[in-house]
Structure 1
Amino acid sequence: MALASLYPDVEIPDLSVPAYVLAAGAERPDAPALVDGLTGDTITHSQLAAYVDRVAAALHARGLRKGDVVAVFCPNTPWYPVVFHGIAAAGCVMSPINSLYTSEEIAFQLRDSGAKVLITVSPFLDRAMAAVQTAPVDEVVVMDGAEGHASLLDLLSSDAPSPRVDIDPATDLVTLPYSSGTTGLPKGVMLTHRNLVANVLQMRPIMNAHEGDERIIAVLPFFHIYGLTVLMNQGLVAGTVVTLPRFDLEDFLRVIQDQRITRAFVAPPIVLALAKHPLVDQYDLSSLRTITSGAAPLDEGLALAAEQRLRKGAPEGVTVAQGYGMTELSPVSHSTPDAGMEPPGLTGPVPKGSVGVSVPNTECRLVDPATGEDVGPGQRGELWVRGPQVMKGYLNNPQATAETLDGEGWLRTGDVAVVDERGIYTVVDRVKELIKYKGYQVAPAELEAVLLGHPEIADAAVIGVKDADSGEELPKAFVVRAAGSALTPEAVMEYMAGKVAPHKKVRLVEFIEQVPKSSAGKILRKDLKAAN
C-alpha cells in the first residue's frame, strides 16, 4: 500500500541545477551568497553567477563536454559552490570525493567514475597526486595554486565564450557521489539535475524560511549529499551560506554568534556538543531558530536536552528536529516540519525520536522483508520510497541498481521503520549491513577486503557494535590469524589506520578461530552480532 505525503505536490520546473539555484539569487544580486566563516570573505549572488559562468567557460575551453566527469577533492569553502555550479553549467558531472580519503580510495573513485579532471587544494595535493599515479586524469587543478598546475584564478580569468549546453534535467546527470548503498563497496550514485532541483523544492513547504534572510552554517561537508543539497543548494536559494572547512566547536559557536546564523543542519555528534559542552554557555546563540539533525539517528533525550539548553538564551526558542534520507534520495525523503509548517490535517506534536513526515511528491511503503508484503501503521517494515528525488541508478552497476530499485521506481532503503496513524515515521532498525559512524557510511565488505590484504590475516569479518558511552556504532573486526602469526589487536588497528579514511578505522578487534559463513560462503554477521 503506497502512502502519499501529507503535503500537496509541488511543481518541479524543467531547469538545470545552476539555472534554478542562481535564479533565486538574481532577485538579490548584491546580497551575500557565500561567506567564509573563518575570514569573513564574501561572494555576492551576482558575483557567484559571474564566477560560475567563467568556470563553465574554462572547462569547456579545455575540451570537456556534456557528461564528462570532474572530480572535486576539497573541504568546504565559499569557492566549492562556484566549482560545483561551474561544472554543472558546462554540462559536466561533478563527483565529490571525501576529504578524508586515502590515495587508494581516491584512485578507486577516479577510476570507477571515469573522471577526466580532478580539482583539489594544495593541502590535499600529496594524496591527489598519489591517486592519479594509478588512476590518471587529463589535468589536476589546484584551487589555491601550486607549481605546475592551473588554479581557480586561472579558470576565473578565462576569456572563452560562455558554453551553450542543451541539458535535459530529467535524464542528464549533475553529480555522482559515492555511496555503499544498502551493502557492499562504494558505488557511483547517478543523480540528475531534476533529482536535486526537486529535492530542494520538496524541502521548501516544511521550512518556515524567511526567504532571502536565512543564514545557514555549512559545517557538514559539501562532498556529502546532505551538505551538497540541503546546506549548499537549498541554502543559496534561501539566503546566505556561511562555510567552515571542518568542525571545531569553538569556531562553530563563534560563527553562529558573529554571523547571526538562523538555521543549522548538523549530525548527532554536534547536537551532543550543544547539549553538554561547557563552551556553549560562552556564546550568544540567540539568532538560531532551528537545528535539524540528519545523517544518523538522533536520540530523543539528546534532542530534548539540546533544545532545552539552547532555549534559555533564545527569546523565540530553538527547535531541534530530525530528518531522514540517503545519497540515493538526493538525499531527503522525510523531515520534521518547522512550527507552523505542518501539513494539512496533522495535529499534535511530532515526537523527537521520529524523522517526521514524508516530504511533498513522495510515496512510501513499509514492506515486511521476510514476506514481501506491505504492513500497516504501527508495524515494522523496510521503508521503500518513490518520488522525483530517487536516483537514476548506480553507475555501470545494473545488478546493484536492480537490487535497490524495482521496475516501478520504488527504492528499497534498507532501513526498518514504523509509521503511526498520523503519518509520522520512526526509523527503528536496519536491514542493511552498513555501519553508521559519526554520520558516515562504513561498508563491512570494504574493510574486510583491506583486512585480507594483510599477510598475517587468514580471514576476517566486520560488524558494527554500539558503544555504550557515545551511542556510536563502532567498526569491529573479527580476525582469523594466519598459521604461526602472533598478530595483536593494536597491529591490526594500526594497519587499517594506514589504509582507510579515519571514519573507516577499525576500533575493536577480536581474534576468532573461524568466521561463521553460510553454505554459499556468505558471512553470517547476525551470528557475530548475537555474540556481541
Structure 2
Amino acid sequence: MSFRNPYDDVEIPDVSVYDFLFGSIADGDLDRTALIDSRNGATTTYRQLIGSIDAAAGALAARGIGVGDVVAVLSPNIPAFATVFHGILRAGATATTLNALFTANEIRKQLVDAKAKMLVTISMMAPQALEAAREVGIADENIIILDGEGQAASGHPNAADLLGAGLPAPEVEFDPATHIAVLPYSSGTTGNPKGVMLSHRNLVANVAQIEPINGMVSDDVVLAVLPFFHIYGMTVLLNAALKARASLVVMPRFDMVEFLESVQTHKITYAFIAPPVAVALAKHPIVDKFDLSSIHTMVSGAAPLDEELGNAVAKRLGLTMLQGFGMSELSPVSHLIPFDGGEKTRGVRAPLASVGWAVPNTENRIVDPGTGADVEIPAEGVSEPGELWVKGPNVMVGYLNNDAATAETIVEGGWLRTGDMATVDATGCVTIVDRLKELIKYKGYQVPPAELEALLLTNPKIADVAVVGAHDEDGEEVPKAFVVVAEGAELTADEVMEFTAERVAPYKKVRQVEFIDAVPKSASGKILRKDLRK
C-alpha cells in the first residue's frame, strides 16, 4: 500500500522559476546580500542579481535564444553562474548544465544529445569547451566566455558583452507544467547518462516542498560548495536559498582548508555537504584549528550518510546534522529530516541513519523487487526492504529522446521507481538501504555495500573506503573493499577483512581488499562504483 507524506500539502504556484523566486520579492529584501564570492569577498545584492538576470535574458533574446532553444553551461560555482542560469530560464530557453570536470569528448556528447544552440563557459575551461563546441558546429559568436581572459577567449563574447547593453528581458509565454526549464544529465553511475527533463513546475514544486521543513531563513549564510551544475546544488542552494533570501557564499570547488576558512570568515550558519566531506570533518585534525561555531545546521545528501559518522560531525562541531534523499529525476529532493530532527514537526526524532519523511505533496510505496507486491508497513518497528517508489509534482517529465528508459522508470499511475532499496517505519520515516543495482549477491544473500562502508569508516586507520561486488576464483560475487589508509597508519588486507568479520554476519564479510590513493567520486559525492569495477 502507498503512504503519503505526513505534512500539510503546500501551494505550488503555476508560474515560471523566475517569477516564483523573484516575482514577489519584498522591497526590504532587494538590498540584502544574495551572493558572496569566497575568493575575494565580492558581494551581489538581490537587486543587482535580478538586474543582471534580466539583462542576460535580454541579451540572449537579442541573439535569437528563446522558447525551444537549449543553452549549455560549463562552469564551476561562481556568482556569474546564477546570472547566466536564471537568465537562460528568464528568456524562455532550457539550460543544460555540464559537469565542470568533463573532457572535450564528454562535453561534445552532451551538446549533441541536448541539441545545444549556445555554450557559456569560462576561460579556464575554454580549451575543452571550444574543441567540443566547434566539433558540433556551434558558431564562435554563440560561445560565450564569461571572464573573457586568455588567447582562447579572443573573438568570443564575454559577460560585459552579454550584460553591457542592458537590454530588457523579453516577454515570453509557456506552460510551466510542460516547458522544460533544465536538462541535467543523470550521473551515469549505473549506466549511460540520460538527459533528465525537468519543467518549471518541477523546480518550483521542489523548492516549495522543502521550504517549510529545511528551516532556512533570510538571516542564514549558506555555504555553496556543492556544484550548481548538479541538481542537488541547483535546487537546494541556487534556488531554495535564494527563495529564502539567504546569502550564498559561492565556492568554485571543495578544498578542505578553503572550506574551513570560508566558514570562519563568513560566519556560515547553514551548510550542505556530501558524505566525503563529513568523513573529513569527523576525522581531520586541521578542523580543530578553525572556529566553526557559527554553523547551526548541516545537511548531507547525494549518498548515504552513516549515523555514527553523522553524529561524530554533529558532536565535534556542535551542530544539528540532517540527512535527505533525492535524485535528478525528482528535482531532486523527495525525503528530508526536518530542521528540528522531527521532534516538533513530527513528535518523534528521526534516526540520523534515515532520510526522514517524504516531502509535502508526495506519496511513497516500498515494493518487493522480486514479486512486485507492496511491502507491508509495520504497526511498529521497521518494514522489510523494498524498492522506493515516489509520486508527486517533482517527478520529472521524462528522459530526453528515450521513451524506453522513461517507461521503465515512470510506471503506471505516475510512480517513479528510484532504483533504491529502502525500509519504512510505522511513522513513515524512510531509510535507504542501498542501490538496487549495487547490492552484492553472495550465495543468494543480499549484501548492501553502504553498510560495509559505514562500518569500515569507524576504523581509525581507514580514511575512506568503497565496497563493490567482485568475483572470486569460483566466479562467486563477493564483497571487495577499496581502502584509503589514513595518513601515518599501517594496515594490511587481512586486518581489514578481520575487522569486518568480527562485526557482521558471515555472508557480509569483506573477502577481497585493494588499497588505493583515493576513492573515485562524482561531483555530487557519489562513489563511482563502475570505475572501481573496471
Report TM bin, short chain.
0.7 to 0.9
Alignment partners' CA distance in 1, 2:71 and 2:323? 32
Alignment partners' CA distance in 2, 1:117 and 1:181? 24
Residue deviations 1:291-334 (CA, integer Å, cap 9, x gap)? 000000001110011111111xxxxxx11111000000000000
Name which of 226, 237, 243 aligns with 1:231: 237
Matched residue type, 1:94 = A
Alignment partners' CA distance in 2, 1:193 and 1:342? 33
Unpaired runs of at least 5, structure 1: 312-317, 436-462, 479-499, 511-532
User: Does 2:89 match 1:88?
Assistant: yes
Cα displacement (A) at 1:342? 5.4
Alignment partners' CA distance in 1, 2:133 and 2:168? 30
Alignment partners' CA distance in 2, 1:167 and 1:216? 32
Identity rate of aligned residues, in percent?
50
User: Does 2:392 match 1:391?
Assistant: no
Cα displacement (A) at 1:431? 1.4
Cα contact 1:464–1:476 (8 A) shared by 2: no
User: Residues 236-251 of structure 1 correspond to what in structure 2 (within 5 A)?
Assistant: 236-238=242-244, 239-251=246-258
Which residue does 1:306 correspond to in 2?
A: 313
Name which of 119, 140, 143 aligns with 2:143: 140
Closer, same or farther: CA 466–114 of 1 in aligned 2, 3 Å:
farther
Cα displacement (A) at 1:67? 2.0
Cα displacement (A) at 1:477? 9.0
Alignment partners' CA distance in 2, 1:434 and 1:93? 36
Residue deviations 1:475-496 (CA, integer Å, cap 9, x gap)? 7899xxxxxxxxxxxxxxxxxx
Alignment partners' CA distance in 1, 2:221 and 2:439? 33
Cα contact 1:268–1:297 (8 A) shared by 2: yes
Closer, same or farther: CA 406–508 of 1 in aligned 2, 3 Å:
closer
Alignment partners' CA distance in 2, 1:472 and 1:201? 36
Matched residue type, 1:8 = D
Instruction: Classify the secondary structure of the residue corresponding to 1:473.
Output: strand
User: Does 2:225 match 1:219?
Assistant: yes
Instruction: Classify the secondary structure of the residue corresponding to 1:197.
Output: helix
Instruction: Classify the secondary structure of the residue corresponding to 1:422.
Output: coil
RMSD: 2.5
Closer, same or farther: CA 122–4 of 1 in aligned 2, 3 Å:
same
Closer, same or farther: CA 474–96 of 1 in aligned 2, 3 Å:
farther
Name which of 198, 201, 206 aligns with 2:205: 198
Alignment partners' CA distance in 2, 1:384 and 1:505? 23
Alignment partners' CA distance in 2, 1:54 and 1:66? 17
Instruction: Classify the secondary structure of the residue corresponding to 1:432.
Output: helix
Alignment partners' CA distance in 1, 2:439 and 2:95? 25
Alignment partners' CA distance in 2, 1:188 and 1:509? 24
Cα contact 2:342–2:350 (8 A) shared by 1: no
Alignment partners' CA distance in 1, 2:200 and 2:72? 17
Which residue does 1:108 correspond to in 2?
A: 109
Cα displacement (A) at 1:471? 5.4
Instruction: Classify the secondary structure of the residue corresponding to 1:379.
Output: coil
TM-score by length of 1: 0.81
Which residue does 1:348 correspond to in 2?
A: 348
Which residue does 1:189 correspond to in 2?
A: 196
Closer, same or farther: CA 398–250 of 1 in aligned 2, 3 Å:
same
User: Does 2:267 match 1:264?
Assistant: no
Cα contact 1:96–1:223 (8 A) shared by 2: yes
User: Does 2:327 match 1:323?
Assistant: no
Closer, same or farther: CA 261–329 of 1 in aligned 2, 3 Å:
same
Instruction: Classify the secondary structure of the residue corresponding to 2:389.
Output: strand
Instruction: Classify the secondary structure of the residue corresponding to 2:23.
Output: helix
Alignment partners' CA distance in 1, 2:424 and 2:248? 34
Matched residue type, 2:70 = V
Alignment partners' CA distance in 1, 2:469 and 2:125? 29
Residue deviations 1:56-111 (CA, integer Å, cap 9, x gap)? 01110001120210000000011111111100000000000001111111110000
Cα displacement (A) at 1:154? 0.8
Cα contact 1:418–1:427 (8 A) shared by 2: yes
TM-score by length of 2: 0.81
Cα contact 1:475–1:507 (8 A) shared by 2: no
Cα contact 2:189–2:528 (8 A) shared by 1: no
Which residue does 1:364 correspond to in 2?
A: 364
Worse-matched range after superposition: 86-95 or 22-31: 22-31
Cα displacement (A) at 1:432? 2.9
Which residue does 2:503 correspond to in 1?
A: none
Cα contact 2:214–2:338 (8 A) shared by 1: yes
Matched residue type, 1:220 = L
Residue deviations 1:357-411 (CA, integer Å, cap 9, x gap)? 1110010000111111101131211000001110000001100000000131110
Cα displacement (A) at 1:232? 0.9
Name which of 431, 434, 448 aligns with 1:429: 434
Unpaired runs of at least 5, structure 2: 378-382, 441-448, 457-461, 472-521
Which residue does 1:315 correspond to in 2?
A: none
Matched residue type, 2:371 = T
Alignment partners' CA distance in 1, 2:452 and 2:375? 28
Instruction: Classify the secondary structure of the residue corresponding to 1:291.
Output: strand
Residue deviations 1:171-198 (CA, integer Å, cap 9, x gap)? 1111000005784211100001111111
Instruction: Classify the secondary structure of the residue corresponding to 2:422.
Output: strand
